[in-house]
Structure 1
Amino acid sequence: MTAPKRLPPWHEHFRLPSGRELLIRPIRPEDAGPIQGAFTLLGPEEIRQRFLYALRELTPEMAQRLSQPDPQTEFALVAAETLPPGEALVGAVARVSVVSRSREAEFAILVSHFIAGQGLGRHLMRRLVKWAKSKKLDRLYGDVLDSNLPMLQLAESLGFRQVREQDASPNLVRVVLDLNQPE
């Protein structure tokens, strides 16, 4: 009997309650095409909640930039079909980026409505928190539309607090997690 094949770091299988099997893994440059293609499947409200404004298309340049994070200051995971990068449909992207000359990072998560509400966003957020802690950062934050109640509830359930930034848009809420607090 052979031992099960070990997955590389930050790779894991994730089974949705619906039974669908996804592979969570670091984003790869080959994912740019599938991410750009999947963008057309997103509804206007999904796009607005993630990008905070209406965006007609994800240009090839934007997709390339998204799929090639700077390993020193950025980290991005995808939840995709269990096919090779470039072939797999990407259903979710979670990203964190260290703010220049600081000990804090900003996160962003987009989960397609096709697989939303099944625990994937929570799982991805926990992975972003783990990465931020491994980098010895002090804070993790994200800007969320006040109408995005599922994201605000998720953040609160994970210990984030809501902060209204003075210079922010009136319909934005910043959610902040102090990474130095004991769990």
Structure 2
Amino acid sequence: MRVRELHAAEAGHAVDTVFHGLSAHSRYLRFHAPVPRLTASMRRRLTDLDGRRKVAVVAECHRAPIGIARLIATGDDTAEIALAVVDPWQRRGVGTQLVHALGRLATDLRYAELHGDVLGENEPMLRLVARVFPGARLTREEDDVVRVSYPLNYRLTHEELVADLRW
């Protein structure tokens, strides 16, 4: 298995493959609603990657996509993350590797905080969050949603600040 950045040109295949590898229950946990099929507008949103404000990483086994983690900017230095792993590969470390890779990418892109919403009943995802993001803030929202917030502790270096000011 390998994890790498997903590019827009190949995102359609990866999104379709992962979506079809999810059971109805896994789709419900990922999208917080029953999603029997991937609509054209959902597919457009999930495959819209620009390398900065909308990025994704894909896990592959023998070149077949088995999971995707996405990052969508919600502010200048904050981003929401979402994750899906096909059912046969769940609880085998794929999600952990995807989240670690996405965290590194977010740090490289200078995001200071990641956040996401997890259904309270999605205990495996909440355990993954606790393991990968120790010290994450978990806040119960309405409709049994848990808001996860995790600071990346990104610190702008003096050189980066000077370069940004010159730019």
Picking from 53, 68, 76, the partner of 2:33 is 53
* Cα distance, 1:41 vs structure 2: 3.4
More contact order relative to length (CA 8 Å, sep ≥ 6): 2
The alpha-carbon distance between structure 1 residues 73 and 140, as it changes in their structure 2 partners (threshold 3 A), is same
In structure 1, the gaps of 5 or more residues are: 1-13, 15-22, 84-88
Could you tell me which residue of structure 1 aligns to residue 46 of structure 2? Answer: 66
More helix by share: 2
Q: Detail structure 1 runs of 4+ shifted over 4 Å in the superposition.
A: none
* Cα distance, 1:58 vs structure 2: 1.0
- Any idea what SS the aligned residue of 2:89 has? coil
* Cα distance, 1:65 vs structure 2: 3.6
TM normalised by structure 1 equals: 0.73
Q: Distance in 2 between matches of 1:143 and 1:160?
A: 16
Q: Distance in 2 between matches of 1:127 and 1:37?
A: 20
* Cα distance, 1:64 vs structure 2: 4.0
Q: Distance in 1 between matches of 2:13 and 2:41?
A: 11
Paired residue total: 153
Picking from 113, 136, 140, the partner of 1:161 is 136
* Cα distance, 1:70 vs structure 2: 1.7
Picking from 65, 70, 86, the partner of 1:95 is 70
- Any idea what SS the aligned residue of 1:30 has? helix
Does the 8 Å CA contact 1:27/1:68 hold for their aligned counterparts?
no
Q: Which amino acid aligns with 1:173?
A: V
The alpha-carbon distance between structure 1 residues 105 and 124, as it changes in their structure 2 partners (threshold 3 A), is same
Q: Distance in 1 between matches of 2:125 and 2:98?
A: 12
Larger displacement relative to structure 2 (37-46 or 48-57):
37-46
Could you tell me which residue of structure 1 aligns to residue 162 of structure 2? Answer: none
In structure 2, the gaps of 5 or more residues are: 156-167
Percent identity over the alignment is 27
Q: Over the residues paired in the alignment, what is the CA RMSD in angstroms?
A: 2.2
TM normalised by structure 2 equals: 0.80
